[in-house]
Amino acid sequence: MSTDVAPPRAGRTGAGRGWDWRLALGHVGLVVAALVFVAPLVYAFFSALKPDNEILKMPPTLIGSQIRWSNFADVFAYGPFVTYISNSFFVAVAGTLVVLAVSATAGYAFGRLRWPGRDAVFVLFLGTLMVPQEVLVIPMFVVMQWFGWVNTYESLIFPWAFTAFGTFLMRQFFRGIPFELEEAARVDGAGPVRTFARIILPLAGSALAVLAVFTFMNYWNSYLWPLITISDYTELGTLPIGLSTFSTQNGTRWDLQMAASIISMIPTTVLVIALQKHLVRGISTSGLGGR
Amino acid sequence: MTLLAPRRGTATEPGGAAPAAPRRRGALARAERHQALGFVTPALAGLTVFTIAPVVLSVVMSLHDWPIFGERTFTGLANYGRLLTEDPDFWPALRNSVVFTVLYVPVNIVIALALALGIGPRIRGRGAFRVLFFIPVVTPVVANVLVWKMLLQPQGLVNGLSTSLFGIEMPRFLSDQNWAMISVVVMSVWAGMGYNMLILSAALEQVPASVTEAARIDGAHGLRMLVSITLPMISPSVFFAAVMTVISSLQVFAQPQLLTGGGPGNATLPLVMFIYQTGFTFQDLGLAAAGAWILFVLIIGVTAVQFRAQKRWVHYEH
């Protein structure tokens, strides 16, 4: 794709600021790669503006015989699409709040407090990171049956809100904060709760942001689990479930499906663009991102 | 635990694993213990109910004939026996998962690395390039797949361009026995490699300038610099990316489920899709749990092999 792009050679021509053909070639290569890369999304966007019967047409055109912005409005009138979107938002926001609360507190206990058995319990936490979701979904469904949670919001929110990943991320972050800060607060008589709330948590903004973004995305994009636990799509379906409802036995409404797909991409894309600095820093400081 | 090895260790470990802190008064320490318990209980309780219990339950289930509704009966290892010797779809599914992984992981990492190298410090709009290549990582995989499903239709963009520009009729990407898997791989690489690009970009940024400078003075340039200096320096991150990507690709589900439906026949039906169908289409949760355990063992095994092999090519700073 772009293997011809020159590796970074910072400083080599640092003194002479003349024309650097390698750098120019690098830019050209990257722009070409970027264009190829976004082409599917761009074409999907323009397809979402076409009349349905012109989307699969030979030869392909970027712009159809008319530009139908109304496709985007029609998506919302097609079935319970508004319900899908609001369900996805509700589940993603609720799940993220639970994950942040649980991970920050546990991360603090593991990273900053001393208690017997801490390291053994932490290893147990880390061990569960190796168990993939796909192994858990089958027994999780039975757990949901026991709780009476099959086909409920609870089943969409809670089962994946306690994974060790968030705790691990926060613990790593908290351990990087200088202990002198905390000792000073302790000397002034503040206990762990106040130290946590007043000193540690306010410093954890970027780590919490990284965790929040990845958690929100995981919920927003989740597909396998809602497919398993939700049977009543019109009431409890989430957006990824809803996206596949534009294909029926009577064929596929490609125009609406593309418009709906584009709509579904907006929140997480906006999130990434808005928080790009946090994301890159978060990945480089924590060493890992979402799962 | 072992997954953390490739990370560069935190430089300082204040008051960490080794309780090197000065002795504190007993009452204070006791209060801290109590409050620590409060801090950790929600996470521990949730993890117990929603991870540890299901893992144990999964073992139990795999030893039973366990339908979604109705009587369950203990059957010992019969489910595993059925999968390994009788079930007509299990081995093809295992093969498909392996084929997908073998194709997907190297392509993903090579492209991600090329992009991470390409988006160097002197590139204008560096941040914008990074975000751009990262976008499909964060958009719903279902939406990504549906876009590609449109592109790869016989009358879709890819065949349309090829036919009208070059007069070349492309194969049926989604229904051809061989091309279906390639389509799933290409689509998945497009959607997934931005994540590794970011990981490797972050690693490249942490290569100390003094090292590359010294190598440059010694006459290393271009490819030589890449192979002898840069790649070894970031090899822990490449290793991390490889391990994580293998794990995630053995769990591939949504792409084949929506792009090809596992077809044609079962040519693109991977293990997770097999487990899903066994459990929820055929409502045989016991057999599905057994399949999930075989998948887990496969993941652990492959990861272990990668860790064994890392001595040959991964360089850690000491």
CATH number at residue B267: 1.10.3720.10
- Whose CA is closest to A223, among B75, B221, B259, B240? B259
Express each pLDDT in B159-213 by its tens digit.
Answer: 888 888 888 888 899 989 889 999 999 999 999 999 899 889 888 888 888 888 8
- Asked if residue B289 is part of any domain, the answer here is yes
Average pLDDT over residues B138-158: 92
Are the CB atoms for B269 and B96 separated by under 8 Å? yes
- Asked if residue B14 is part of any domain, the answer here is no
Interface test with A, best of B69, B100, B132, B138 (most A CBs within 10 A): B138
CA A60/CA A58 separation, integer angstroms = 5
Domain count, chain B: 1
Answer whether B36 sits within 8 Å of A40, measured CB to CB.
Answer: no
Closest Cβ–Cβ partner in B39, B53, B250 for A113: B39
Are the CB atoms for A64 and A50 separated by under 8 Å? yes
B67-99: buried (b, 16+ CB within 10 Å) or exposed (e) per residue? eeeeeeeebeebbbebbeeebebbebbbebbbb
Q: How far is CA B225 from CA A11, B217, B218, B221, B231, in A?
A: 14, 11, 10, 5, 9
* pLDDT higher than threshold 60 for residue B10: no
- Domain ranges in chain A are 1-34, 77-286
Answer whether B40 sits within 8 Å of A121, measured CB to CB.
Answer: yes
* pLDDT higher than threshold 70 for residue B6: no
Closest Cβ–Cβ partner in B46, B58, B244 for A138: B58
Structure tokens at B62: 């795999």
Answer whether B276 sits within 8 Å of A27, measured CB to CB.
Answer: no
Interface test with B, best of A134, A141, A146, A195 (most B CBs within 10 A): A134
- Flag whether residue A147 sits within 8 Å of chain B, measured between CB atoms: no
DSSP letters for A184-202: HHHHTT--HHHIIIIIIHH
Can you name the residues that pair with B73 across neighbouring β-strands? B65
Answer whether B142 sits within 8 Å of A126, measured CB to CB.
Answer: no
Answer whether B279 sits within 8 Å of A138, measured CB to CB.
Answer: yes
CA B204/CA B275 separation, integer angstroms = 39
**How do the pLDDT tens digits run along chain A, 291 residues long?**
344 444 444 444 444 456 788 888 889 999 999 999 999 999 999 998 988 888 888 788 888 888 889 889 888 888 899 999 999 999 999 999 999 999 999 999 998 888 888 989 998 888 888 788 888 999 999 999 999 999 999 999 999 999 888 898 888 888 888 888 778 887 887 777 888 888 888 888 878 888 888 899 889 989 999 999 999 888 999 999 999 888 887 788 888 999 999 999 999 899 888 877 766 666 655 544 333
- Asked if residue B140 is part of any domain, the answer here is yes
- Asked if residue B36 is part of any domain, the answer here is no
The boundaries of the domain holding residue B137 are 81-312
**Percent of chain B residues past pLDDT 90, beyond the cut:** 54
The amino acid present at B282, given as its one-letter code, is F
**B292 min Cα distance to partner chain A (Å):** 5
**Percent of chain B residues past pLDDT 70, beyond the cut:** 92
- Asked if residue B127 is part of any domain, the answer here is yes
According to CATH, the superfamily of the domain at A77-286 is MetI-like (1.10.3720.10)
Closest Cβ–Cβ partner in A12, A34, A41 for B147: A41
The amino acid present at A128, given as its one-letter code, is T
User: What is the pTM assigned to this prediction?
Assistant: 0.85
CA A41/CA B231 separation, integer angstroms = 32
- Flag whether residue A134 sits within 8 Å of chain B, measured between CB atoms: yes
* pLDDT higher than threshold 80 for residue B37: yes
- Asked if residue B23 is part of any domain, the answer here is no
- Residue in chain B closest to A228 (alpha carbons) equals B280
CA-based end-to-end distance of chain A: 26
Answer whether B61 sits within 8 Å of A41, measured CB to CB.
Answer: no
Express each pLDDT in B268-280 by its tens digit.
Answer: 999 999 999 999 9
In this predicted structure, what is the pLDDT of residue A12?
Answer: 46
Residue A28 — left, alpha, or beta (φ > 0 → left; ψ -120 to 50 → alpha)? alpha
**A193 min Cα distance to partner chain B (Å):** 8
- Asked if residue B253 is part of any domain, the answer here is yes
- The confidence band for B142, taking pLDDT boundaries of 50, 70 and 90, is very high
Answer whether B111 sits within 8 Å of A125, measured CB to CB.
Answer: no
Chain A residues with CB-CB distance to B225 below 8 A: 7
- Of chain A residues 77-116, which have a CB less than 8 A from chain B? 101-103, 105-106, 108-110, 112-116
- Whose CA is closest to A152, among A96, A82, A98, A230? A230
A175-184: buried (b, 16+ CB within 10 Å) or exposed (e) per residue? bbbeeeebee
Backbone angles phi, psi at B130, to 5 degrees: -60, -45
Structure tokens at B73: 């009966």
In this predicted structure, what is the pLDDT of residue B219?
Answer: 81
- Residue in chain B closest to A222 (alpha carbons) equals B140
In this predicted structure, what is the pLDDT of residue A274?
Answer: 85
**A10 min Cα distance to partner chain B (Å):** 7
CA B117/CA B95 separation, integer angstroms = 33
Q: At a CB cut-off of 8 Å and minimum separation 6, what does A58 contact?
A: B155, B160, B163, B164
Collapse the DSSP code of B153 into the 3-class scheme (helix H, G, I; strand E, B; otherwise coil) and give the result: coil
More confident residue, B102 or A168: B102
Structure tokens at B275: 């487990």
What is the sign of the dihedral through the CA atoms of B257, B260, B263 and B267?
Answer: negative
* pLDDT higher than threshold 60 for residue B17: no
Answer whether A261 sits within 8 Å of B151, measured CB to CB.
Answer: no
Answer whether A33 sits within 8 Å of B295, measured CB to CB.
Answer: no
* Range with the poorest average pLDDT among A8-17, B30-39, B47-56, B96-105: A8-17
> Across chain B, what does the average pLDDT equal?
87
Chain B residues with CB-CB distance to A112 below 8 A: 15
Q: What is the CA radius of gyration of chain B?
A: 24
Interface test with B, best of A38, A41, A138 (most B CBs within 10 A): A138
Are the CB atoms for B258 and B188 separated by under 8 Å? no
Answer whether B3 sits within 8 Å of A129, measured CB to CB.
Answer: yes
- Residue in chain A closest to B292 (alpha carbons) equals A135
In this predicted structure, what is the pLDDT of residue B318?
Answer: 54
